[in-house]
Amino acid sequence: MRRFLFVLIAAWAVCGTVAVAKEAAPMIRDPEIAGRMAHLTQKLRCLVCQGQSVADSGSDFSNDIRREVEKLMEEGKSDQEVIGFLVQRYGDFILFEPPVKSTTAPLWIGPFVLMALGGAVLVIVLAKRAKRPVEELSPEQVAAAERLLNDLEKEGKDS
Amino acid sequence: MIPEIGHFSLILALAMAMVQAVVPLIGAAKGNENWMRMARPVAQGQFLFVATAFACLTYAFITSDFSVLYVAEHSNTELPLQYRVGAVWGGHEGSMLLWVLMLTGWTMAVSVLSRKLADDLIARVIGVLGLVSTGFLFFILLTSNPFIRLMPAALEGRDLNPLLQDPGLVFHPPMLYMGYVGFSVAFAFAIAALLGGRLDAAWARWSRPWTLVAWMFLTMGIAMGSIWAYYELGWGGWWFWDPVENASFMPWLAGTALIHSLAVTEKRGSFKNWTVLLAIIAFSLSLLGTFLVRSGVLTSVHAFATDPTRGVFILILLVIVTGGSMALYAWRAPKVGLGGRFALVSRESFLLANNVLLLVAAATVLLGTLYPLIIDALGMGKISVGPPYFSVVFVPVMTPLVFLMGVGAMARWKEASLPDLAVRLRWAFAVALISAVIVPFLMGEWYPLVSMGLLLSFWVFATIFVGVRRRVRRNQEIGRPGFSGMTRSYVGMQLAHAGVGAFIVGVTLVNGYQVEKDVRMNVGDTTEVAGYTFRFDGVAQTKGPNYTATQGYIQVIKDGADLMVLHPQKRNYNVQTMPMTEAAIDTGLTRDLYASLGEPVSGGAWSVRIYYKPFIDWIWGGCFIMALGGGLAMSDRRYRLASRRKAEKPSGATHAAGALATEGGRA
């Protein structure tokens, strides 16, 4: 039955090729809107998925959002206006790039502060170490080291 | 009956874990050899019981024993066998059991492979691992017991989440956990060294291969998870900066810092304190990841607040482990013996810079992962932190890191000369720069970010080339074969670094030149993507073991010749009736072709997504090369030599000890 169905479809496909073979239409007709959407939907969270963007998700939610965004863009809304609309409806949660405001300041400044701090600590530690006097070995330590080296040599010959 | 055996084994394992945690540690503190010698057999016994429990749970899954609640919730009679086995760790309880199985497995490996170690050191290492194991076994038995019975038994199971019904489930979690949990060994070595007050090069030499193996598994585990996400989750994304991913990425970053810092400690005796601290941090981040993933805090802070038992338990464990070891560190970290002196410009300095950058990276991921949770918990709103944020903050940290990688691998220990380095590397830099400017043109269009990414990867390749060539020349000058004297450890390092370069090539090119088409296709319609023509030949119904699917037929044509047929599917699983999209992917060294069925639209047409993804497989190829490098470095002669020497030399002593033990037994 399955095979039969497939043959049927294949036959249909062949006829179809002859009859109406044509360039597939893009889902979003307007190329300018398609480009803007591709960019914008990357930054929107699919609220029903696990950590995926609307652009990456095939869920019903994402399909709805895409339709909504397309409609708004066709109405001539700018990217900012579309984002504003979505934030109003779903909150900041839908934005993968959190807006810069007082509550998110630490999030945006944090990494750069960390990096500056790390750099400063690095420089201080290294400068301090470079100045440290060389630790002289005591005669016993030198003797012990020689003994170890000899042992190693012997073992090297053994093996 | 079998589940009860599993349950009982788990309780016995807990009893043994407690013995393992207490007796050897006290023995080591008091110098009681008999107590110390308990460590190995108890650890092996514990592994045996955990493995038995795990086998019992697996048996319950294979036989579809739906009188076990966990099995009824995560399996189904229609589920194919390999997924019934994978389903063992497909839910919370089972994945915790896998966690403990890995932990005891690592402990077992330590107990078998560390014959050379001093008794007190091994007693402490195994004792610390026993402490961790005790905590997790308590956690499983008290809050997440997989053996709880369901009375009356269910007639049919609720089935495994269709998202998880994939070979990825069979390989990815065990691999990831091997790595994750493997850092416990480095952690245990660090704590043992602090307790024993012996923090020397020998200690670094012992922890290094263990850390490398763990790192290798973690690298592969993360890469496999990424591949899985690529073909299963969405539309060709390979990393989502999802908190669950970040949970495994943070220990990876800290672990990468650790393997570099261990190199300094082993070779030069420096950074001892720092290395110990990193070992503690790496394992703490593993635990933190477990907490994030397992407590439910990610799904919703509020859901966590209403049923906090599990979360609070892991949180307490986390606080005890991290807090306890930090306190121990503050108390016992050596104040003297800073190791060999080194100049401002030296390999040591470069490696320290590497550590700082990797830790800043880890802290950044931590901030981005925890911040939304904190904000939410404080009632200050709900925000998402996703890919756009991480690319803004991550690139500035990673760029200097990759740049220094080329310089550091070339610099001498102790003291390097900056002008000398500059002379040696100027050709590498020139070559990298010129190719980075030209190659984007060859790819079709020039973007600054692509050029920048390529500059970094070509820089990596060029510096490796210069480094290896220099060694070969020096060998030839003294009349030896060019590649002699290159240890596995050295080759492993260069290989791992080359892996980073390949990874960057993949990321850069796929971000720069990926082509996406979202089209409405009637039967016979064609669309052209990056030189390939895709013709839609319709759909047919097909049946899998536990799903029905609509399968599309997409003919790929290149230069007028038929290349292949792609079969993307839309599946509907019988039990959970959740529609799943299975993309069809043709994998290639320089490009992937990716087709995915969308929704049926009017008149027999379908919405179809087609991607051309150049060099995407280099991303995972790079990761596997990195892992291979780690594996090579781990198998370096000096680690094997050390263990063989031990095995040969004191065999007499072992016999004597054995004889003593038997005599003691008789007495």
- Residue of B371, B523, B645 with shortest CB distance to A107: B371
Predicted pLDDT at B380 = 83
CATH topology of domain A25-94: Helicase, Ruva Protein; domain 3 (1.10.8)
Cα dihedral sign, B170-B172-B173-B176 = positive
* B244: confidence class by pLDDT, cuts 50, 70, 90: confident
Q: How far is A149 from chain B (nearest CA, A)?
A: 15
- Which segments of chain A belong to CATH 1.10.8.640? 25-94
CB contact under 8 A, A118 and B396: no
Q: Which of residues 101-130 of A touch B (CB under 8 A)?
A: 103-104, 106-108, 110-112, 114-115, 118-119, 121-122, 125-127, 129-130
Confidence of residue B662 (pLDDT cuts 50, 70, 90): very low
Q: What CA–CA distance (Å, rounded) separates B159 from B162?
A: 8
Distance of CA B259 to the CA centre of its chain: 14
Say which of A10, A53, A129 has its CB closest to residue B342.
A129
Classify residue B386 by its DSSP letter: -
Determine whether the interchain pair B519/A25 forms a contact, defined as Cβ–Cβ distance below 8 Å. Answer: yes
Task: Using an 8 Å CB-CB cutoff, list chain A residues near B371.
Answer: 104, 106-107, 110
| pLDDT of amino acid A126 | 83
Q: Which residues of A touch B543 (CB under 8 A)?
A: 2
**Among candidates A23, A98, A119 on the partner chain, residue whose Cβ is nearest the Cβ of B384:** A98
Q: Which of B172-181, B212-221, B327-336, B654-663 has the lowest mean pLDDT?
A: B654-663
Number of other CB atoms surrounding residue B336 within 10 Å: 5
Predicted confidence (pLDDT) per residue in B461-508, tens digit: 999 999 999 889 888 888 888 777 788 889 999 999 999 999 999 999
Closest A-chain CA to B361: A111
Q: pLDDT-based confidence at B34, cuts 50/70/90?
A: very high
Put simply, whether A96 touches B (Cβ < 8 Å) is: yes
Which tens digits make up the pLDDT trace of B307-354?
Answer: 678 888 888 999 999 999 999 999 988 765 566 678 788 888 899 999
Taking contacts as CB-CB distances below 8 angstroms, the residues of chain B near A51 are 240-245, 386
pLDDT in tens, B53-103: 999 999 999 999 999 999 999 999 999 999 999 999 998 899 999 999 999
Residues of chain A contacting residue B536, judged by C-beta atoms under 8 Å apart: 24
State mean pLDDT over B536-558.
92
**pLDDT for the residue A156:** 54
pLDDT at B14 over 70: yes
Whether residues B237 and A56 touch (CB distance < 8 A) is answered with yes
Contacts of B535 in chain A (CB under 8 A): 17
The C-alpha atoms of residue B343 and residue B355 are separated, in whole angstroms, by: 17
User: B341, A135: Cβ pair inside 8 Å?
Assistant: yes
ipTM of the complex: 0.80
Q: What is the pLDDT of residue B647?
A: 46
Q: Are B353 and B261 in contact (CB under 8 A)?
A: no
Q: Average pLDDT, whole number, for chain B? A: 88
pLDDT of residue B648: 46
**B341, B537, B538 ranked by CB distance to A134: nearest:** B341
pLDDT in tens, B151-163: 888 889 888 888 8
pLDDT band at B654 (very low <50, low <70, confident <90, very high): very low
E-strand stretches of B361-490? none
In the predicted model, what is the mean pLDDT of residues A75-91?
89
Residue pLDDT, tens place only, A62-73: 888 888 888 898
B396-424 pLDDT tens trace: 999 999 999 988 888 888 777 888 888 88
Distance from C-alpha of B186 to C-alpha of B192, rounded to nearest angstrom = 10
For chain B, give the percent of residues with pLDDT over 70.
93
pLDDT at B566 over 50: yes
Compare B650 and B46 and report the one with higher pLDDT. B46
Over chain A, what is the mean pLDDT? 79
Q: Does residue B266 carry a pLDDT above 90? A: no
* pLDDT on residue A34: 84
How many Å lie between the alpha carbon of A77 and the closest alpha carbon of chain B?
22
Q: Which pLDDT band, with edges at 50, 70 and 90, does B301 fall under?
A: low
Least confident of B55-59, B292-296, B608-612: B292-296
- What mean pLDDT do residues B35-62 have? 95
Answer yes or no: do A92 and B381 touch at CB < 8 A: yes
Integer angstrom CA distances of residue B505 from B236, B402, B457, B587, B624: 17, 13, 6, 17, 14
Which chain A residues are within 8 Å of B360, Cβ to Cβ? 111, 114-115, 118
At B518 the pLDDT is 87
Nearest CA in chain A to B362: A111
CB crowding B264-297: b at 16 or more within 10 Å, else e: bbbbbbbbbbbbbbbbbbbbbbbbbbbbbbbbbb
**Residues in A 64-83 with any Cβ partner in B closer than 8 A:** none
Nearest chain A CA: its distance from B618 CA (Å): 21
pLDDT for res B611: 92
> Is the model more confident about B276 or about A14?
B276
Chain B residues within an 8 Å CB radius of A55: 235
Mean pLDDT lowest among A10-14, A91-95, B93-97: A10-14
pLDDT at B646: 47
B408 vs B233: which has the higher pLDDT: B408
